[in-house]
Amino acid sequence: MAKRKTGRFITFEGTEGAGKSTLIAAVETALVRRGIDCVRTREPGGNPTAEKIREVILSSAMNPWTELFLYEAARAEHLAQTILPALAAGKVVLCDRFTDSSLAYQGQGRGLPWKQIQALNEIATQGLEPDLTVWLDIDPAEGLSHAREITRFEKEGVIFQSRVRQGFARARRESPARWLKLQARSATPEALAEKVVEAWLKQQAKIASKKAPRRKPNQKSSKKIRTGSPRTKASGPRKRGGSRGRS
Ligand code: TYD
């Protein structure tokens, strides 16, 4: 298992052309406005060695297993050099793609066995899972018409992208609690970003309430009753010192 983290980890997933980068930038702006320290990163990539692996992956077609191992190798490096240190420093990490992309692209898209990809994901991430995964969904044909950069994955076409989309749906069915599905272009990036921040704050409040010590029903508190205003969503999460519920 990865070392205990105090920050929070939000990943963004989706097929090509959904507008993930714009959404991530808007989420970062919205969090920074609330005084929350963020690190924005991406997969494959996110640190010098992983960016080199990214170039190899995107440069030419290869055996699907080779492709998967390269994504996992880049991920292991990204995790160790970028994600874990940022989380340990109490930051919110916003990551453009993560393990669910391997399941969707190499699993559902290329047909590699789902369970084996899950096992490799687990090894590469030392068991770290996102706290929240935002799926920015778009019709694959529409997405491809918006794609700004044409890599070999966009060239695979609509049928491949449709399989990948089914892959995200399957990953979401398997762990629904951490997913937030948004319809791409259903609102401005700023409005979509607010939905992400709201979902995230709600999740933080839930985690905080689970951690709060419970008093026995007949146990009287010696403390004075507080009359100040309750902690609101807008007051934001505690930034440091908490540990999350999972490891
Ligand atoms: P990129 O240009 O970053 O695409 P996007 O802007 O859509 O995120 O290229 C990354 C490509 O790698 C993208 O097509 C999805 C693919 N990918 C996988 O196939 N498996 C993975 O595990 C990851 C992280 C990405």
Per-residue confidence (pLDDT) for residue 2, from 0 to 100: 57
The protein residue whose alpha carbon is closest to atom 17 in ligand 1 is 101
Report the residue among 15, 95, 98, 105 best suited for mutation to probe ligand 1: largest number of ligand atoms under 8 A from its CB.
105
Distances in Å between the alpha carbon of 200 and those of 1, 99, 127, 178? 23, 19, 21, 10
Report the pLDDT value the prediction gives residue 160, as an integer from 0 to 100.
96
pLDDT at 238 over 50: no
Confidence (pLDDT) at 204: 85
Atom 19 of ligand 1, residue of closest alpha carbon: 105
Confidence at 1, pLDDT banded by 50, 70, 90: low
* Ligand 1 lined by 43 (C-beta under 6 Å): yes
CA of 219 from ligand 1 middle (Å) equals: 54
The span from the CA of 215 to the CA of 224, in Å, is: 15
Q: Please state, rounded to an integer, the average pLDDT across all residues of the chain.
A: 87
Q: Would the CB of 189 count as within 6 Å of ligand 1?
A: no
The position carrying tokens 């920074």 is 32
**Cα(134) to centroid of ligand 1, in Å?**
15
Ligand 1 close to Cβ of residue 101 (< 6 A)? yes
| 97 close to ligand 1 (CB < 6 Angstrom) | yes
Q: Tell me how far the alpha carbon of residue 113 lies from the centroid of ligand 1, in angstroms.
A: 19
**What's the pLDDT at 217?**
58
Q: What is the pLDDT of residues 105-163, one digit of tens each?
A: 999 999 999 999 999 999 999 999 999 999 999 999 999 998 888 888 888 999 999 99
Residue 73 has pLDDT above 60, yes or no: yes
Longest dimension (CA), the chain: 68
Q: Quick one: tokens of 77?
A: 């490096």
DSSP 191: H
Q: Look at residue 180 and tell me whether its pLDDT is greater than 80.
A: yes
Report the nearest-CA residue for atom 4 of ligand 1.
Answer: 16
Q: How confident is the model at residue 236 (pLDDT cuts 50, 70, 90)?
A: very low
Dihedral angle sign, alpha carbons of residues 210, 216, 221, 227: positive
Q: Is residue 86 very low, low, confident or very high in pLDDT (cuts 50, 70, 90)? A: very high
CA dihedral over 198, 6, 13, 52, signed as positive or negative? positive
Contact status, residue 52 vs residue 81, Cβ threshold 8 Å: no
Which superfamily does 10-211 belong to? P-loop containing nucleotide triphosphate hydrolases (3.40.50.300)
Nearest-angstrom CA–CA distance, 108 and 197: 29
Dihedral class, residue 96 (left if φ above 0, else alpha if ψ from -120 to 50, else beta) = beta
pLDDT of residue 121: 98
User: Which residue's alpha carbon is nearest to atom 5 within ligand 1?
Assistant: 16
Among 25-39, 143-157, 216-230, 231-245, the least confident range = 231-245
155: left (phi over 0), alpha (psi -120 to 50) or beta: alpha
Q: Stretch 91-102: mean pLDDT, rounded?
A: 98
Residue 79 CA to ligand 1 center (angstroms) comes to 16
pLDDT score, position 100: 98
In the structure, what pLDDT confidence band is assigned to residue 41 with cuts at 50, 70 and 90? very high
Q: What is the pLDDT of residues 198-214, one digit of tens each?
A: 999 998 888 888 877 76
Q: Quick count: other Cβ atoms within 10 Å of Cβ 233?
A: 14
Mean pLDDT value of segment 53-67: 97
Give the atom of ligand 1 at the shortest distance from the alpha carbon of 149: 2
Residues 223-233: tens digit of each pLDDT: 443 333 333 33
Q: Is the CB of 55 under 6 A from ligand 1?
A: no
Residue 135: which of 106, 92, 104, 113 has the closest Cα? Answer: 104
